[in-house]
Amino acid sequence: DGGITQSPKYLFRKEGQNVTLSCEQNLNHDAMYWYRQDPGQGLRLIYYSQIVNDFQKGDIAEGYSVSREKKESFPLTVTSAQKNPTAFYLCASSKSGREADTQYFGPGTRLTVL
Amino acid sequence: AQSVSQHNHHVILSEAASLELGCNYSYGGTVNLFWYVQYPGQHLQLLLKYFSGDPLVKGIKGFEAEFIKSKFSFNLRKPSVQWSDTAEYFCAVNPAYSGAGSYQLTFGKGTKLSVIP
């Protein structure tokens, strides 16, 4: 089955700890994205990557970091500098170029910082 | 930068009622427009999209949306809703033909739809 997988589904961490969220896709998409979803806030873009070894900040990148060493993988690290890390995190991917427009989403990871 | 406004936070309808969810965007150039749906416990899914051409776009599950350029609007409609349409609906926009800008999809805050059997 082609798709996007995110693991784990639920994640709990203590305040002050860094945590890495996994995102893998087998759609052969060049571009990948990370969003944060909060109740009543919609989705907000954290980082995106158009191609391997390249990524750009989105609207709310502070306190987050990413890497893109492989086409299939785009892990997100939530650092201790992120002031309100508890949220639902969604990963997405898309083709590049003109077809970058349609993004396909994974099931999400719900992070709770205690 | 673009922005998206969804007028209704929560809409409650009875089955068979007609649905219209409002979406307005702000951007000075050509845009691509999307409606995504998030059913309880499921992935965010693409409902329909508009890139160019016929401003009336048909999507999955009987949904349609009309792009009215003069009003910067892309309202979602369905003639008769079902209980299974209960979900959260998100309107989104990105600049068209703008290189790196096309990767930056901006979402509205979402509208929760509750359909009562």
pLDDT, residue A95, reads: 87
Q: Are B90 and B108 in contact (CB under 8 A)?
A: yes
pLDDT, residue A101, reads: 67
| Cβ <8 Å between A42 and B108 | yes
In chain A, which ranges are E strands?
4-7, 10-13, 19-25, 31-38, 42-51, 54-57, 64-66, 76-78, 87-94, 104-105, 109-113
B40 has a chain A CB within 8 A of its CB: no
Mean pLDDT across chain A, nearest whole number? Answer: 92
pLDDT, one tens digit per residue, over A67-110 is 999 999 999 999 988 889 999 999 999 988 765 668 999 999 99
Q: What is the distance in angstroms between the Cα of A7 and the nearest Cα belonging to chain B? A: 14
**CA dist., res. B92 & res. B3, Å (int):** 9
Q: Are B16 and B116 in contact (CB under 8 A)?
A: no
Interacting residues of A59 by C-beta distance below 8 A, sequence separation 6+: A44, A45, A46
B32 has a chain A CB within 8 A of its CB: yes
pLDDT, residue B103, reads: 79
CB contacts < 8 Å between A and B, how many? 54
Among chain B residues, the shortest Cα distance to A110 is held by B41
**pLDDT tier at A61, thresholds 50, 70, 90:** very high
**CA dist., res. A24 & res. B105, Å (int):** 20
Q: Are A111 and A20 in contact (CB under 8 A)?
A: no
Q: What is the distance in angstroms between the Cα of B80 and the nearest Cα belonging to chain A? A: 26
CA of residue B55 relative to chain centroid, distance: 13
**pLDDT tier at A39, thresholds 50, 70, 90:** confident
pLDDT tops 90 at residue A1 = no
Q: Point out the residues of chain B with pLDDT beneath 50.
A: none
pLDDT, residue B41, reads: 87
